[in-house]
Homo-oligomer: A and B are copies of this chain.
Amino acid sequence: MGAALALVGKGRHFASLGIREVTRQAGVVPTSFYRHFRNMDDLGLQLVDELGLVLRRMMREARANVLQSDKLIEESVGIFVAHAQANRSFFLFMAQGLAGESRAVQEGIRSEMRFFASELANDLRRLRLMDHLSDADLDLTCDLVVRTVAFSLTDLLSVSPDDDYQIGQIRKRTTRFLQMIFVGAGHWQSDGA
């Protein structure tokens, strides 16, 4: 799994990886692959599971660092960007998998995103923010937020990891996106959509 991730990190697309290629990168003979996975799709699914862990770690850190802050959004985006950098290959894999060729991986990632959105909704409910929104509308908002952040991933991962200027731009832009969405959510239904 580490080998596959490393290749993705080097710019390859997961869908174009072969068993031999992965085992070569892992420094192991091709047949060893079958001790752990039935095929590449299987490997992909297990990567999705690990991706889940990465996302949960990120959520935990976001919750801890954000509670006593008045700049909720800016702070959260910062944490997201930091994690995306620290686990570049994982997030690369995630971005690829969303339109990947394995239906199962695709569904897995989508499901992680749904989970993330629902956790976000819970947090907002707990913090009594967006209290005027119905449950369904809050879910809608959180879904939109998560999508927007996920799309920013594409921007983020396409610039060099040490191009701090561009990364800063992306962070600012993403922050404004989210602010606009929350302004929309704040006036939702009150001025009749």
Contact = CB atoms under 8 A, between A and B. Distances in A.
Interface of A: 11-13, 15-16, 92, 95-96, 98-101, 103, 106-107, 110, 140-141, 143-144, 147-148, 150-151, 154, 157-158, 173, 176-177, 179-188, 191, 193
For the complex, would chain A's binding face be called helix, strand, loop or mixed by DSSP majority?
helix
A101 B12 CA distance: 6
8 interchain residue pairs of minimum CB distance: A184-B184, A13-B101, A13-B15, A95-B99, A183-B184, A180-B184, A15-B16, A96-B99
A154 B103 CA distance: 12
Contacts of A181: 144, 180-181, 184
A158 B104 CA distance: 11
A193 B184 contact: no
A187 B183 contact: yes
Contact of A100 (B13, B147, B150, B183): B13
A180 B140 contact: yes
Nearest to A98: B154
A148 B144 CA distance: 8
Contacts of A110: 158
A148 to B, nearest CB: 7
Contacts of A154: 98-99
A147 B151 contact: yes
Contacts of A101: 11-13, 16
A183 B182 CA distance: 10
Contacts of A183: 183-184, 187-188, 191, 193
Contact of A180 (B13, B16, B103, B193): B193
A145 to B, nearest CB: 10
Looking at A11, A16, A148, A157, the one whose CB has the most chain B CB atoms below 10 A away is: A16
A95 B150 CA distance: 13
